Amino acid sequence: MVVWKGKITMQFNKIKTQVGTYCNTPLLKITFIFLDLETTGLHPQYGDRICEIGLLKAKNGKIIDSYETLINPCRPISPGAFNVNKITANMVKNAPLFSQIVNDFFDFIKGSVIVAHNAPFDLEFIGSHLHNLGIPFPNNFVIDTLTLARAHYNFPGNSLGKIASYFGIDTYNQHRALGDTKITKEIFYAFLKNFKDRGVNTLYDLLELQGGSFVFPTYGEIILPPEVEESVKSKKKLKLRYVSAEGEETVRTIEPIEIIPYQDYTYLIANCLLRGERRTFRLDRILEMEVIE
């Protein structure tokens, strides 16, 4: 089995104490903030940082406002991250630091419910930045469309793109922060339409369906890429496009065994079907990954 430090938790006691007030508000009257980040890599506890943030504010399915900015991470962008978001060092060198936009972030999310796809990943990165600045975490309720997809649907895959394809949602500008918030918004409201038939009408109903509200994790946890986590839970293989330390690209099919953090990097131990033996893969050198049967 895959082992990692820490665990993203959800709270439900907090929700119960607020029944009859905000949590009993109909979903169509709730202001939702759709959040997405682009990052230099996968692991903030080993120095990876946010390089772009996108926020989309919507109510009753209608967009009210948006916020988007590149962020100077003050560190290189890994090959794996660049392969996805195409953000270069040149693009971020004159961008503001996270500390310079943190007040804008708090102002934008005030009084809203945060929605993200793979929310633990985003919460970990934001939590890491806030921790470093000595700023308390916000107490917004958090909905994760990935958790809802896994628990209540049976999509061919649970990536943002595959769910969007299932619903016929346009994926223009995917893998950039604001573009992904727009896709997440459409997926979320498609979910709400389906959940309404199950009697989900208020924020409390939705949080109960999810099992609680995600909360910001303790600083220092390791958040696995969703594809790795899914392959372990479903006992499926992973198809990787991987670049070695020498710059050689190969395509591998692997069976994940264990996650090991060492010094500044995190490594995936797996059975490699290409080589027919156990191999070690550095996560930031994985350019693409896909869960396969």
Q: What is the C-alpha to C-alpha distance for residues 44 and 282, in angstroms, rounded to an integer?
A: 15
Choice among 43, 117, 129, 175 that is catalytic:
175
Note the pLDDT of residue 20.
53
Instruction: Give the CATH number of domain 10-223.
Output: 3.30.420.10
Question: How high is the mean pLDDT in each 10-residue block of the chain (293 residues)?
Answer: 42 55 86 97 83 98 98 92 94 95 97 95 91 88 96 94 95 91 98 95 93 77 76 85 88 86 75 88 88 84
Burial of 235 from C-beta contacts in 10 A (0-12 / 13-18 / 19+): exposed
CB 227 within 8 A of CB 182: no
Q: What is the C-alpha to C-alpha distance for residues 229 and 246, in angstroms, rounded to an integer?
A: 28
**CA nearest neighbour of 72 among 47, 54, 90:** 90
pTM: 0.77
Q: Is 152 a catalytic residue?
A: no
* Calculated CA dihedral for residues 105, 109, 110, 115, nearest 10 degrees: -150
Tokens at residue 88, please? 């270069």
217: phi then psi, degrees, rounded to nearest 5 = -75, 165
**Helix count and strand count (H, E) for the chain:** 10, 12
Note the pLDDT of residue 71.
97
Tokens at residue 108, please? 């934008």
Note the pLDDT of residue 174.
86
CB 149 within 8 A of CB 157: no
Note the pLDDT of residue 5.
39
Helix (H, G, I), strand (E, B) or coil at 242: strand
Q: What is the C-alpha to C-alpha distance for residues 149 and 158, in angstroms, rounded to an integer?
A: 7
DSSP state letters, 79-145: HHHHHHH---HHHHTTSPPHHHHHHHHHHHHTTSEEEETTHHHHHHHHHHHHHHHT-PPP---EEEH
Pairing relationship of beta strands 265-272 and 277-282 according to DSSP bridges: antiparallel
Written in H, E and C, the secondary structure of 260-286 is EEECCEEEEEEEECCCCEEEEEEHHHE
Q: What are the start and end residues of each CATH 3.30.420.10 domain in the chain?
A: 10-223
CATH 3.20.20.10 holds for 228-292: no
Q: What are the start and end residues of each CATH 2.30.30.520 domain in the chain?
A: 228-292
